[in-house]
Structure 1
Amino acid sequence: MFSLKLTHQALPLLTSNFCDPYEIASFYLGDYQDSNMEDASPRTDSSTDADTEDKMSNQLQGIGASDGSDKSRDQKTLRRLAQNREAARKSRLRKKAYVQQLESSRMKLTQLEQELQRARQQGIFISSSGDQSQSIGGNGALAFDVEYARWLEEHNKRINELRGAVNSHAGDGELRIIVDGVVSQHDDIFRIKGDAAKADVFHILSGMWKTPAERCFLWLGGFRSSELLKLLINQLEPLTEQQLLAINNLQQSSQQAEDALSQGMEALQQSLAETLAGSLGPTGSSGNVANYMGQMAMAMGKLGTLEGFIRQADNLRQQTLQQMHRILTTRQSARALLAISDYFSRLRALSSLWLARPRE
């Protein structure tokens, strides 16, 4: 029966900070194994419990001491403790690296969750269904969504600044600087959309970067200028007769341009459908295959005109905002920009309420 007795001399080593718990356990285990090996070998003298206790106390107190017969065991013990210390050190390093990796992953996950929540609040819903228009395959759709999110965040800051200036009755000079900044920022989004349409025109045309409520009023990837002017007239009163006449003329010209673009879009869709229908029929012969390839090439060429429709529609929207800015006074322009922003903000809020509605 193996018996291990701790003396008052061994307690300081066990309670000190010098030895790692792994070292203490290995020391006891190694000593137990060595003693068993010695017990198994022939011996001419018997050791008493007192001798065993004295030997253990000497090992715990003076591992580095050398006193004749115990020198070999002390060296093995030192090597064992050194190996255990090295193993414990490496284990602590691995644990520290693992904890740091977990912390880094947690921070990245938190950042992604915040970005996703911000995107949802701003009306960006990135599909995971594998749709090409929402994939991350470098087609420009995701890049545009990110750019639009940044633009919208900056736009909200400018609108809050404009609202504060209007409420505080800022001077015309200060107010004009802020108004010009908001108008210039609208020009930025049209430029960003133009670049995105070159990469993925269907993404811009479908309006998947907008909220569901906004998509209900979508026309060629954006708002109808004529409808927006109708909403603004009631918000800008009182208007002079000259201003009212100019806005009505702008609204009518915008309506005519929108009708022309809509008719062109309908004609394109009809022509595209006829082109695709022309390639229908039994396949298998080389003539049918050649006809199919020719028809698809024609269809691809017609799809290329979609980018032109998006660009013309955005040009109309941009010109309408600029014309409105020239017709109105600085304070009227500020009120108009605030009304436009509030209108689209309410559409986004309506989408959030709709998506969060209770479902039976």
Structure 2
Amino acid sequence: QAYIQQLESSRIRLAQIEQELHSARAQGVLYPGSSLLAEQGIAGKGLGGIDGLSSEAAMFDVEYARWQEEHNRLMYELRAALQQHLPEGELQMYVESCLAHHDEVLAIKDAVIKGDVFHLISGVWRSPAERCFLWLGGFRPSEVIKMVLSHVDPLTEQQIVAVYGLQQSAVQTEEALSQGLDTLYQALSDTVVSDALTCCSTPNVSNYMGQMGLAVHKLTTLEGFVRQAEKLRQQMLHRLHQVLTARQMARSLLAVSDYFHRLRVLSSFWVNRNRMAPQDQQLEAGPHT
């Protein structure tokens, strides 16, 4: 939870940097605190979700919703195929279709990573409960492997060794990316609090824009971290596919899908908890006599 809060606070802080740069270019104001921002009413529009979604974020939300609908359909078909006890060869075709669909989400995310990476890592496109477990715009591969180990039995000794090896590799990569992200945030924070960005009566425009340019350059590193996380997620699924049988992989995909579905259901209950409370109280009271 603390990690998610850190990402959210960093997203807001960094988005404000982008907002100031955009306003400076649009209005010719090259230092913070200008009343022109409020007078012109342009602050925050289309800049990473301060007052509204950027065009890239809005497009991503639409495309991801379509992807999720198709994902639900594929999971329904995969579940039916599994229940019909199809041969491994036939079941393999369903599994490969699901994996190909997972690969498609990379292209959808790539566009928003370029245009509005803060929208992706903030998790506002996912349900509230899902956001609690979000890591760099998606699931932690190591957590998915844990689900596999608890839902796919029996595994051969060779499979167990291979899956645990994948988990260890995933954890190490996740830790490296998380540490790199912390380092980036610290470097960016040091840049933002630099004396060159201090608002004063006679601001040094050259120093100010130089520091802002340096901060923006550092933000491109954030895009790289998210892309590496996406690649890790993709590689983990395909490597699991190489280790497991078609039936085991089908069960794994369904277990992961069910997990996120339950988080969305939990979110629905959470959002509607105040409306449900009076109904629960009425049920507890029983019928009136």
Q: TM-score, normalised by structure 1?
A: 0.61
Q: Within 2, Cα distance between the matches of 1:262 and 1:137?
A: 26
Larger radius of gyration: 1
Structure 1's 169 and 223: CA in aligned 2 closer, same or farther, altered over 3 A? same
User: Which protein, 1 or 2, shows the higher relative CO under an 8 Å CA cutoff with sep ≥ 6?
Assistant: 2
Aligned-residue RMSD, C-alpha: 1.8
Secondary structure at the counterpart of residue 209 of structure 1: coil
Amino acid at match of 1:307: E
Return 274-283 or 158-167, whichever deviates more.
274-283
Secondary structure at the counterpart of residue 305 of structure 1: helix
Paired residue for 2:87, among 157, 171, 189? 171
Per-residue deviation, residues 177-225 of structure 1 (Å, max 9, x unmatched): 1110000100001221112211111111111111110000011111110
Aligned position for 1:283: 200
Cα displacement (A) at 1:137: 6.7
Aligned position for 1:185: 101
Per-residue deviation, residues 55-104 of structure 1 (Å, max 9, x unmatched): xxxxxxxxxxxxxxxxxxxxxxxxxxxxxxxxxxxxxxxxxxxxxxxxxx
Q: Within 2, Cα distance between the matches of 1:232 and 1:214?
A: 19
* Runs of 4+ deviating beyond 6 Å: none
Does 2:72 match 1:156?
Answer: yes
Aligned position for 2:273: 357
Structure 1's 289 and 136: CA in aligned 2 closer, same or farther, altered over 3 A? closer
Contact kept, 8 Å, 2:48 with 2:116, in 1: the verdict is yes
Q: How many percent of aligned residue pairs carry the same amino acid?
A: 52
Secondary structure at the counterpart of residue 348 of structure 1: helix
Structure 1's 289 and 138: CA in aligned 2 closer, same or farther, altered over 3 A? closer
Q: Within 2, Cα distance between the matches of 1:349 and 1:240?
A: 34
Per-residue deviation, residues 25-61 of structure 1 (Å, max 9, x unmatched): xxxxxxxxxxxxxxxxxxxxxxxxxxxxxxxxxxxxx
Q: Which runs of 5+ in 2 are unaligned?
A: 1-43, 278-289
Per-residue deviation, residues 304-354 of structure 1 (Å, max 9, x unmatched): 111111100000000000001110001000100110110010011110010
Aligned position for 2:260: 344
Secondary structure at the counterpart of residue 353 of structure 1: helix
Query: 1:31-50 counterparts in 2 under 5 A?
Result: none
Q: Within 1, Cα distance between the matches of 2:233 and 2:130?
A: 16
Query: 1:32-111 counterparts in 2 under 5 A?
Result: none
Q: Within 1, Cα distance between the matches of 2:199 and 2:105?
A: 47
Aligned length: 231
Query: 1:1-360 counterparts in 2 under 5 A?
Result: 132-134=47-49, 139-278=55-194, 279-281=196-198, 283-285=200-202, 288-358=204-274
Cα displacement (A) at 1:290: 2.1
Q: Which runs of 5+ in 1 are unaligned?
A: 1-128
Structure 1's 334 and 282: CA in aligned 2 closer, same or farther, altered over 3 A? closer
